Structure 1
Amino acid sequence: MEINTSRYRIRPVAADDGHAVRAITDIYNAAVMAGGSTADLEPQTLGQRRAWVESHKPPYVVAVIEDESLGGRVVGFGALSVFYDRPGYDGVTDLAYYIAPDAQGRGAGAAMLDWLLDAARERRMRKAIGIIFADNAGSTALMRRFGFTRFGLLPAAATDATGAMHDMSYWYLNL
């Protein structure tokens, strides 16, 4: 599935799409270094991100969002990933998305989340799970906007690369 809007184009990515994997690596590493959205403490290598993309076998998927007003520049990515690796959890997906710092607050996150939810429904998933830092105001707002319900809070659960400790919030949406 590919979504085109007047501004954004969202498309699935394969591990051999070097341009997209490089952009995913750069965007993710910016999030690592800024803190506040991932518990990875060190930047990831291109090879690590490529392996991560490769690990997403159907029905799971990684996608990039390109900003047409910036000449098609990749400004973010998202993924539907395995929630838990036991077969009884098939149909439940962990979703995640990251937007480049200079593209945040312009609708790319909402467009990506909308695409991910449509993709999850097309793949006949029954629940989408979002696990986010509780103090990540942008992601918390998107969870609420899209109708997710917070079902848990794990206090002081994860440190980010800046050394800050964060509570983790757990969200779900019945699909």
Structure 2
Amino acid sequence: MLNHVIRPAEDRDLTAIADIYNEAVIRGGASADLEPVSLDARRAWVDSHQPRTKYPVVVIDVIDETTGTRETAGFGSLSKFHQRAGYDGVTELSYYIAGKYHGRGLGTAMVRWLLDAAVSRGFRHAVTIIYADNAGSVALMRKFGFTRFGLLPAAVATAGDDVLHDMSYWYRKL
């Protein structure tokens, strides 16, 4: 596990958030966006998380132990699941880790942080939607006790690779 810190996202993090997200868009299989998004689009996404005390956007910084320098390696959020008030106890969890940091424990740290944050904010359930063939995210959801409750089969979404993929829906009671 890399030495890291998870902290609230700030304006200075917008470029890193956009870069990490756009890397995922280009790589495919992690976002239904098919083209990289603008910095303004990512800013609007961050700003949509209101109130931030309930719907946090956070970044995970990796700390170089020899120099003390930090690099933003990923970000995550809790989002409003649905506009109707009856769903207020449900939050949507999402996270993105820069490709060079995949498989190094940062996704695990981020999901753990987001689940703890969801509990402390009084949510009853956490949900997420992932590409059914995204083995890393599927394994992470299983690791944290999520249950797949739905599948949009027959290849409903593309990942920019001209291949249609199934989408899986996951939940966890908090």
What is the CA deviation profile of residues 52-88 of structure 1, one whole-angstrom value per residue up to 9, with x for unaligned ones?
1011012111110000127210000001011111111
TM-superposed deviation, 1:26: 0.1
Cα distance in 2 for residues equivalent to 1:123 and 1:62: 14
Cα distance in 1 for residues equivalent to 2:31 and 2:9: 21
The worse-fitting range, judged by mean Cα deviation, of 136-145 and 161-170 is 161-170
2:40 alignment counterpart: 47
2:126 matches 1:131: no
What is the CA deviation profile of residues 130-149 of structure 1, one whole-angstrom value per residue up to 9, with x for unaligned ones?
11000000000000000001
Secondary structure class of the residue paired with 2:145: coil
Opposite residue 60 of structure 1, the aligned amino acid is Y
1:21 alignment counterpart: 14
Runs of 4+ in 1 over 6 A off after TM superposition: none
Cα distance in 1 for residues equivalent to 2:16 and 2:125: 28
Secondary structure class of the residue paired with 1:84: coil
Aligned length: 168
Q: 2:25 aligns with which of 25, 32, 40?
A: 32
Q: 1:78 aligns with which of 58, 76, 82?
A: 76
Secondary structure class of the residue paired with 1:162: coil
Q: What is the root-mean-square deviation in Å for CA atoms of aligned residues?
A: 1.3
Cα distance in 1 for residues equivalent to 2:3 and 2:56: 22
Q: 2:103 aligns with which of 96, 102, 105?
A: 105
Opposite residue 159 of structure 2, the aligned amino acid is D
1:169 alignment counterpart: 168
Structure 2: runs of 5 or more not aligned: none
